[in-house]
Chains A and B, each alone.
Chain A
Amino acid sequence: MKKTVSHVAAYALFIAFAFIIILPLIWMIITGFKTNQELFLSPFSLPEQWKWENYVDAWNQGIGIYLSNSVIITVGATVLSTFVSCLAAYPLARLNFRSKKLWIYVILGGLMLAPQSSVISLFKMVKIAGLYDTRTSLILIDAAFRIPFAAFLIMTFYKSISYSLDESAYIDGATTWQIFGKIIVPLSKPIIASCAIVSFRAVWNELMFANIMLQSTDKKTVPVGLMNFQGMTTTNWTLVVASMVIASLPLVIAFLLLQKQFVRGLTAGSVKG
């Protein structure tokens, strides 16, 4: 009896919490269909007419451009960081050489460096290099900050692959590149995918560097673009909300489709190597 009561109480709490999580999201979706007037005057009611135009307008007013910038930068930084991490993790995990430990510390030590403490110098460096207001600068910076974690994840996985595979390949006369490309990488596909997803999420949401390194409107990413939308003097709030819904869809859909890889990538880093 006591058990049932506590079970019911637990369920009640979890359902209540689910409502706290989900109501603001529903509010967002509904508000995206309202007129500005309805937003001010009748905050709780459903829109009298569901204004699909808000979403179309949001797209035309720039969210489309911001999205394509975000895709370019995120894909660029994700591919770059995952690729170089795959490479670097190989000797660190599976070859023996004298300076190995030093390089492991150098790469993973990057985990300790807060982007906030490099932002001033990076701004200066980017200006001197003539890369200010280019997507290249953002791709490089975002990729760099993903490398330590990505290399750590991939390295941990490489180590779990049986060494007898390499040895028999060596005996058959394979080079390290062949072993890397034909054995290690194909076997590591799941962790590489997870790693790419986690990096994608981080770069997609990145705000500070995107805000500082890019200046022209047609290069801005979604997070910065949304800030500009709501900063305008006569803010069209429902349009802003519609833009926010559009901006959120890609990752939410990706999560629903790739939940397993998502969770693996997130958890691999928090469980000890």
Chain B
Amino acid sequence: MKGEDASAAERDGQLIAGIAAGDRRAFRTFFDVYGPRIFRYAVRTMGDAGKAEEVTNDVMLEVWKNASRFEQRSSVSTWVIGIARHKSLNAIRGKQLVTVDIADVAEQITDDGAAAESGEAELDQAEMRLMLRAAVAKLSPEHRDVVELTFFHGHSYEEIAEIVGCPENTVKTRMFHAKRQLKALLGERAARAFNIGAVA
């Protein structure tokens, strides 16, 4: 990750070297660092915790088997998320992605006592975040990928281009369309809530 400091890169390098040598402790530490990120990526891509756990284990098994061949041309996080993406997409190939209906979330929020009390125009930030997550889940897989890899995993656009296998400009274009779709999905309420965000 571009924002990653040198010590994280050094730690990752040492862990990979340890795993390549069959060190189980290094593998455990690596799993502690990357397991939650891989799982979160997989669960948000596939919408199925069981499958996400399988993908996480598959990715880690791949790391165990291929650590000695990792050539450090990319960062470790780019490498593992790239494997996770490939395995997640294979797992859901031909299947309908699980998406959250934004209307259901909005209705749920309106039904909520606190929200009803404060009025529709005054969605608080926690509610807005809930709606945003639902809206992200509604995005097309390509757009959601770019949003998740940017905001959840903290990857730079260059790294995302590498993970996804497309030009850097395509990553920027996908982000542009993702933002437009999010605004369209959230509509009027979002515009007001974003202004609440501006105050915070």
Do A and B truly interact? no
Chain B interface residues toward A at CB < 8 A: none
